Structure 1
Amino acid sequence: MNAITKEVSQANAELRKTAPLVHNITNYVTVNDCANALLAIGASPIMADDLLEAGDIAAISSALVLNIGTLNRRTISSMIAAGKRANECGIPVVFDPVGAGASKLRNDTVKEILEQVKITVLRGNISEVSFVAGLDVTTRGVDASAADGNRDAAAVAKAVAEKFGCTAAITGAVDVISDGKRIAKIRNGHPMLSKVTGTGCMTTALVGAYAGANRDAFVAAAAGVASMGIAGEIAYEKAGRLGTGSFHIAILDALSHLDSAVMKARGKLDEA
């Protein structure tokens, strides 16, 4: 077993032991899935997006997850307030810039959050993270474009990590994680994950859970991404042939049984 696989396995054990409280200001299309994914992995979710309480909830949480999937002006203020409070309290902030590059509002919001909030982990697809890196992108709504997929994901992740002093996680056929110094690649997952809405949002929430229980953001990001990939593989084996509905539920089942032993046995991680 290599070092990164051992580290993510230990991170899972720590998460199961500590049951971190994870504050989510997230996508209303997938909020229920994110909450259930957090419960399944052993964390405790709270979804609080009103400006009057966002900062207070962030202050008592183990991690904060910001997701702009269903963006509106009301929650932009809540995200920034919660992010600033989390920064003040030393609480990790995980940011998912969903659809970055697709509209002026999204682009402006991504820039505003990154200017006002210190991000611990940024998780997105290659188009979204390329936008954050300052590259021209051809985002397809909330999906990565084929043209952007030809980029060197490791180079993009490293550039974002260095630019913002964070860990960057790019998910795709091969996931790439970088904190500017270390680079890991993860080859877990199944193509059917792209046929169920919310798997990206759930992945970001899982990263938040691991970040809330582990000090090393690079390991937390790798563990969260690997957890969804492994769960996707197990879900397909159990229920994938029944259809996307059964596969969807099987993802949660797989996450609920995911422990350090399963991660050691099934993790396909390597570090450059």
Structure 2
Amino acid sequence: MLKNIIDKTKKTTPLVHAITNYVTVNDCANIILAAGGSPIMADDINEVEDITTICNTLAINMGTLNKDTIEAMIVAGKHANKLGHPVILDPVAVGASNWRNIGFAKLLDQVKFSVIRGNVSEIKAVYYGSGNTSGVDVSEQDIITQKNLNQTIKLAKELSKKTGAVIAISGEFDIVTDENKAYVIKNGHEVMTKITGSGCMLTTVIATYCGANYDDVLGATVASVCSMGISGELAYDKMIKTDSGYSSFRMYLIDYMSKLEGEAVERGAKYEIQ
């Protein structure tokens, strides 16, 4: 499954419209290219419909939210829905402020999302309508452990049923699920949490893979999480071998994503199905 998704992505080079935050926009553009797609980073309301029309998929990231980008996201999202394009949402720091919650509620009310990806605190805030987010980081009481894994999967499946979206939760264990089938993915390295934007990059990889695999959004999301995790493992190994640091790790992460082939992901993916 994973090999076919990645091979199809590299063969078709989907055009990805990303309305993302300005802290990580360059990394997101580069990881889209590395994953086999082609990025367009357009967020002005006057052109988002036109850009969405020529693209295959849309990624929406709420990281540096403002009133103008909310409206642009809604316009782009509704148009992508009309065209039948996958729409991927990264609800960054939802639950952290009332204004951000209102913006998220508008998005969820007016746009149909194919995938919602966040850390467990963000996903809980989406589920409950409020939460314990610590800025963009997961709250300590929300961290996924073996003890609360089944409960977290249950919540994610219920949220998938409620929204119609595949739910992807990033953490020590990554969870990707629709309302029926959950994948618990154990690829990756903790150093990925030490650079800004690893989650944002993952969201755009998901958009890239989904843009080439409309018919298997769940599988494309699993392939994305595994690919990023494996790239992180390889990047960490190289960081240690070269006695380098976090900035180099970011570069190596993108390097390995660009070199990763479908067969390597199929071999290296570590997941269980529940």
For Structure 1 versus Structure 2, the TM-score category normalised by the shorter chain is over 0.9
CA shift, 1:269, in A, is 1.8
Q: State the partner residue of 1:99.
A: 93
% same residue: 45
* Equivalent residue letter for 2:125: F
2:27 alignment counterpart = 33
Where does the alignment leave 5 or more consecutive residues of structure 1 unmatched?
A: 1-6
Alignment partner of 1:246 out of 229, 248, 261: 248
Alignment partner of 1:51: what SS? coil
| Structure 1 partner of 2:195 | 196
* Aligned position for 2:269: 267
C-alpha RMSD of matched pairs (Å): 1.1
Report how far residue 79 of structure 1 moved. 0.2
Whether the 8 Å contact between 2:125 and 2:132 is mirrored in structure 1 is no
Partner of 1:45: 39
Is 2:51 the partner of 1:57?
Answer: yes
Q: Secondary structure at the match of 1:55?
A: helix
Tell me, what secondary structure is at the counterpart of 1:27?
coil
SS in 1 for 2:46: helix
**Shift in Å at residue 119 of structure 1?**
0.3
What secondary structure does 1:147 align onto? helix
Match of 1:177 in 2: 176
Task: Give unmatched runs, 5+ long, in structure 2.
Answer: none
- Where 1:242 maps in the other structure, the secondary structure is coil
Which residue does 1:79 correspond to in 2?
Answer: 73
The equivalent residue for 2:259 is 257
Once the two structures are superposed, residues 180-211 of structure 1 have per-residue CA deviations (whole angstroms, 9 ceiling, x without a partner) of 01110110000000000000000000000011
Say which is worse superposed, 23-32 or 150-159, in terms of deviation: 150-159
Using the TM superposition, give the Cα deviation of residue 135 of structure 1 relative to its aligned residue in structure 2, in angstroms.
Answer: 5.9
Question: 2: distance between equivalents of 1:117 and 1:260?
Answer: 32
Distance 1:80 1:135 in 2: 19
Q: TM-score, normalised by structure 2?
A: 0.95
Q: Distance in 1 between matches of 2:129 and 2:54?
A: 36
Q: Which region of structure 1 is more displaced relative to structure 2, 17-26 or 53-62?
A: 53-62
Which sits farther off after the overlay, 32-41 or 127-136?
Answer: 127-136
Deviations 1:38-84 (A, max 9, x none): 10111000001000001111121110000000111111110000000
Matching residue's letter, 2:200: C
**1:31 & 1:98 partners in 2: Cα distance?**
14
Match of 1:4? none
Q: Distance in 1 between matches of 2:72 and 2:129?
A: 28
Which amino acid letter does the alignment assign opposite residue 237 of structure 1?
D
2: CA distance, partners of 1:269 / 1:213: 23
Distance 1:41 1:136 in 2: 34
TM-score (norm 1): 0.95
Counting matched residue pairs gives 266
Q: What is the distance in 2 between the residues matched to 1:73 and 1:247?
A: 34
1:92, distance to aligned residue in structure 2 (A): 0.5
> Do structure 1's residue 207 and structure 2's residue 206 form an aligned pair?
yes
2:187 partner letter: N
Q: Which residue of 2 aligns with 1:24?
A: 18
Find the aligned partners of 1:106 and 1:221 in 2 and give their Cα distance.
25
Q: Compare 146-155 and 252-261 and name the one that shifted more.
A: 146-155
1:55 partner amino acid: E
Deviations 1:152-188 (A, max 9, x none): 3212211210110110000100000111011101100
Q: Please tell me whether the aligned partners of residues 124 and 169 of structure 1 are also in contact (alpha carbons under 8 angstroms).
A: yes
Runs ≥4 residues deviating over 4 A: none
Give the alignment partner of residue 70 of structure 1, picking from 64, 69, 81.
64
Stretch of structure 1 that moved more, 111-120 or 134-143: 134-143
Match of 2:235 in 1: 235
Q: Is the 8 A contact 1:101 1:137 kept in 2?
A: yes
Q: Contact 1:66–1:79 at 8 Å: present in 2 too?
A: yes
CA displacement at 1:212 relative to structure 2: 0.2
